[in-house]
Chains A and B, each alone.
Chain A
């Protein structure tokens, strides 16, 4: 009987304590907490209770002594987001909300550079997108300067600094005029991520051939084939020679070898011989007499 009375009185005290806490709105909550930081929640009243911190990013449950501060150690809450705080004790419940924000110190970049291979001298041909994350893989939503740099085989590096918006920064850069690998870097704070971009020669700019007679045949040879920036067009590029004569037509496709294309064609008097590659037309030569 005595123990029952003690238990009943105890319950009354707990209930009173919780009700006091509710009445005073005493969940002393910070409005925002930086991810990974230590913080505490103040409770009022007396007796035992349970404190929940609930969000899609994390969930915590602590048995607490009402009237005491509940401490959370560094790293306990590390996922940025919006959290609901619920304190239960006896029959009463108190709640609140707070936000956990990303640490404003970039630790990881998610850097997407496209394309990985493109022709030289292309305006805005290369795009870079960088998402900025903190050490807990939270997207850093505060504006953060991100510096993009494209440095290649020739010329001064192209550099752009962009302030991130909603955690993302992006830029577009021109490909260099010389072929070769370029290093594309994104940097935020002390974090650097890099990609390699292959810059290849563009389409042939000018195509010119010469013809020399060789008995009953003609020897055809192009000058070294280059793009508009002077880069040698890669070997293997197909060059097409066409000969039109007396209502007949002959075509020879020749891959570039060491920068030039060579072939032989029959020597028809009065024939017209032309050269082309892709959409680029070269010169045209009329052979022999009319």
Chain B
């Protein structure tokens, strides 16, 4: 197989994967960059699909949890530091009478690191999303945001969970 053919196959695979995830994340559009250079551990297609699926599901959990101020909604998809920090935000929102509604519109996901022993996987996601701020049930503003998120996921019994979730300057 020539380099051109490999590249073409990778692009087709990527488009198929992207198309699969359009339906998965409700209204959001998802693009997954080709994962040829992810390492050091070899990333199988099945693992890649599961990680992206679970990460997008985590966004839905986050959205629901911050909108309803319910930290328990994070349990299924977050662990460790990410869960603690989001839970603290929810606690603070509740105290202040604030709710925030995060609606992710588009994801450009790139898996960047799969640890040699298979216990962590890292991705970078350029996300387009809307944030609506509600103070004592009165909507204050809806703002479109574009940010680059870094997430580290670790495997649990049946799925990947987000352990680190942090935006960085683009």
A50 to B138, CA, bound (A): 13
A31 to B169, CA, bound (A): 9
- Interface footprint category on B: 35 or more
A31 to B40, CA, bound (A): 35
A141 to B124, CA, bound (A): 11
Q: Which of A238-254 contact B (CB under 8 A)?
A: none
Known A-B contacts A61-B135, A97-B145; A56 and B86 likewise in contact (beta carbons under 8 Å): yes
Cβ-defined contact, A112 with B119, below 8 A: yes
User: Among B20-28, B30-38, B47-55, B96-104, which stretch is in contact with chain A?
Assistant: B96-104
Could you say which residues of chain A place their CB within 8 Å of the CB of B164? Answer: 131, 139, 167
CB distance from B65 to the nearest CB of A (A): 10
CB distance from B128 to the nearest CB of A (A): 12
Q: Interface on chain B toward A: helix, strand, loop, or mixed SS?
A: strand
Could you say which residues of chain B place their CB within 8 Å of the CB of A139? Answer: 150, 152, 164, 166
CB distance from A159 to the nearest CB of B (A): 18
Q: Which of B55-96 contact A (CB under 8 A)?
A: 62, 66, 81, 85-86, 88-89, 92-93, 96
A81 close to B (CB within 8 Å): yes
A31 to B168, CA, bound (A): 12
CB distance from A145 to the nearest CB of B (A): 17
Could you say which residues of chain B place their CB within 8 Å of the CB of A61? Answer: 96, 98, 135
Cβ-defined contact, A55 with B96, below 8 A: no
B residues contacting A by CB (< 8 A) are: 40, 62, 66, 81, 85-86, 88-89, 92-93, 96, 98, 100, 102, 112-113, 115-117, 119-120, 122, 124, 131, 133, 135, 140-141, 143, 145, 147, 150, 152, 164-169
A residues contacting B by CB (< 8 A) are: 31-32, 50, 52, 54-61, 79-82, 84, 86, 88, 93, 95, 97, 99, 101-102, 112, 114-115, 127, 129, 131, 133, 137-139, 141, 165-168, 170, 172
12 contacts across the A-B interface (CB closer than 8 A): A57-B85, A57-B86, A58-B92, A59-B96, A82-B147, A82-B169, A86-B141, A95-B143, A114-B117, A129-B117, A139-B164, A139-B166
